[in-house]
Chains A and B, each alone.
Chain A
Amino acid sequence: MFVRGLKRKCFDGEEDIEGTLAGIKAIPSYNLQRQSLLDMSLVKLQLCHMLVEPNLCRSVLIANTVRQIQEEMTQDGTWQMINTQSTGQTSLDRLVSTDILCRSSREQAEGKQVPGYSSFNKDFEDDQTQDSSETMSTSSSVQTPRNLQSNVWEMENPQESRGNFQKSLDQIFETLENKNPNSVEDLFSEVDNSYYDLDTMLTGMMSNTKMGHCDGLETFSSPTTATSNSNCKSDLNELDHIVEILVES
């Protein structure tokens, strides 16, 4: 369970990444695990967006969870700090309506080492070039974290996903509600076959019913050990590896 009463360092907006990292390292468990939950939720939303007709109830519940995390991250400053670093624009007005990776893979299709869940999207529309160019600039900085400890990886992760939080939630629901035949892009968009393979792999990962993948996230009241944390991290690294294959193909 997530315990919200944990004492945390107050993150100042002007702190640079390294300073923030030090702050995060001081309480690794809560923020990282919250981040893992956020990443997991985003993947789920993205995956369910790939299904023929996703379960609306499930999508709404996951989206609400993401919004909840986002709000909490706003409150403790993590969100704001990340946001100002990733894109030039302040997106405070975006916070209420959760912006989720949805059809935003066009932005990240250009990004090389972009953490993942974006390349699955069918709709490669080419608007929002402004966002994509900004993402490009940050993606280069993402290349280095690969070699750093996974703390940094997960730090960069939200950076990317924050950038993608530009999309609004309605995109998901609109697509869920009705695949509008009038939108020509929908009808004739190319389906990227590579993501079917990803789907199989990720579904296999995600539908693993064995417990223990997220042991670290349950025992939340006390700081978790490195081993339990690594379970979550290893999943994310696996995901990262899969994306690497996709992006390079």
Chain B
Amino acid sequence: MGVAGGGGNDFQWCFSQVKGAIDEDVAEADIISTVEFNYSGDLLATGDKGGRVVIFQREQENKSRPHSRGEYNVYSTFQSHEPEFDYLKSLEIEEKINKIRWLPQQNAAHFLLSTNDKTIKLWKISERDKRAEGYNLKDEDGRLRDPFRITALRVPILKPMDLMVEASPRRIFANAHTYHINSISVNSDHETYLSADDLRINLWHLEITDRSFNIVDIKPANMEELTEVITAAEFHPHHCNVFVYSSSKGTIRLCDMRSSALCDRHSKFFEEPEDPSSRSFFSEIISSISDVKFSHSGRYMMTRDYLSVKVWDLNMENRPVETYQVHEYLRSKLCSLYENDCIFDKFECCWNGSDSAIMTGSYNNFFRMFDRNTRRDITLEASRESSKPRAILKPRKVCTGGKRKKDEISVDSLDFNKKILHTAWHPMENIIAVAATNNLYIFQDKIN
């Protein structure tokens, strides 16, 4: 069973590549914390807990073999954030990259925003593949020539050199967040972006680093009354005045920046009424939304809570239009998952380019895809065992009770240390990137 990517034909997912170390001992710093394709899909960026960003570039397709797709190879690696120490509060600020967001490309260089808990940085990634030779005022090794020795003028010539990719920080947006930044989102105007922490959302201009506007503030006057935090935020893909933010209570608020400077009052409030029959002490925790993503069309948005993914029509606030169960078999295990803190894991979700399918991660290195049209779903695994080139991924199944069939895995055998929190889907093609701890898996469809 496959998931149609918009063409309507069934196809199957195949292994393409895996990046990262193989050995069992995973260094904490190598754990991937965010994955993001750029607007064209030619570049794929990952951030890790060590504060590094690695960008992969898709190779040009080989014309003699039209059915082979380009591979992703390392394009640039740089240290985006370093660990810091806040002396005032006696706290260490982690260098872990929480989010990367690309800017639309406007010239030869590529720009992206990367953020840790406190500071957002704008990075410029540019190529250099030529250098000039034959300067008049300096030698080839750079030493200045004696002006009296210069007897003739020459025009410097550009000569090719080995490609060098440089990453340089162009802007640093700091000191605007008291709490931990969980989201950044570039606006459709390509001039502004928002950054959200647990209690506040700020609006920035990409050119201005010394101030930002606070557009949402849910911090209560008395912190004792704090019962809800912001978990994610995103700008609408087309309306530059609209953004949404989700909360730990399972609600989403849509705000219009035209209505007031401080968007504390929402324009729309999305919440699904609770099912009283399934209420438990864990109900609130599992309703906490870990990710919110607009569809490419801008008509829908998707939210991820602990057990499910929900698709909302922006015109209907009282319930989602679609609900997909990711791992419902965990509902009876919530107490154990609370004990080992897995219940607080924040899974992300993503749309495919045509908004016909959605994808999210689970445990045991499983990830799930849902086809919105056919209502079919599939569970796949990112593992070294199924890592032969162009090997078709076999659907996986979790046995929920009763007799376990062959090839099924029982709930109690799931490895809760192997969690897939971050996935990304190529904006136009059926290529997906799945981060499994310190490894990045790239899967493609069999048919181009």
Contacts and interface: CB of A to CB of B under 8 A. Distances in A.
Interface stretch (B135-143, B203-211, B227-235): B227-235
A4 B198 CA distance: 32
Interface string B27-46: 00000000000000000000
A181 B222 CA distance: 20
A186 to B, nearest CB: 8
A61 B288 contact: yes
A63 to B, nearest CB: 8
A234 interface: no
B334 to A, nearest CB: 7
B228 A1 contact: no
Contacts of A44: 341
Interface residues of B, number: 46
Interface stretch (A19-27, A52-60, A156-164): A52-60
Interface stretch (A113-121, A132-140, A208-216): A208-216
Given A57-B229, A169-B224, 8 more contacts: A37-B335, A37-B338, A57-B344, A65-B284, A65-B285, A181-B90, A209-B415, A212-B412
Contacts of B222: 170
A249 to B, nearest CB: 26
Interface in B74-95: 88-93
Interface in B186-239: 198-199, 222-229, 231
7 contacts: A56-B180, A57-B198, A61-B284, A170-B222, A178-B178, A179-B89, A213-B339
Nearest to B92: A52
Interface of B: 88-93, 178-180, 198-199, 222-229, 231, 248, 278-282, 284-285, 288, 331-336, 338-342, 344, 411-412, 415-417
Interface residues of A, number: 42
B277 to A, nearest CB: 10
Interface string A36-65: 010010001000000011011110110111
**Which interface residue of A97, A181, A209 has the most chain B CB atoms within 10 A?**
A209
Nearest to A67: B227
Nearest to A220: B280
Contacts of B417: 209
Nearest to B290: A57
Contact of B248 (A60, A68, A214, A218): A60
Contacts of A218: 332-336
A100 B227 CA distance: 14
Nearest to A43: B339
A173 B229 contact: no
A57 B91 CA distance: 18
Contacts of A60: 226-229, 248
A61 B88 contact: no
Interface string A177-219: 1110100000000000000000000000011110111110111
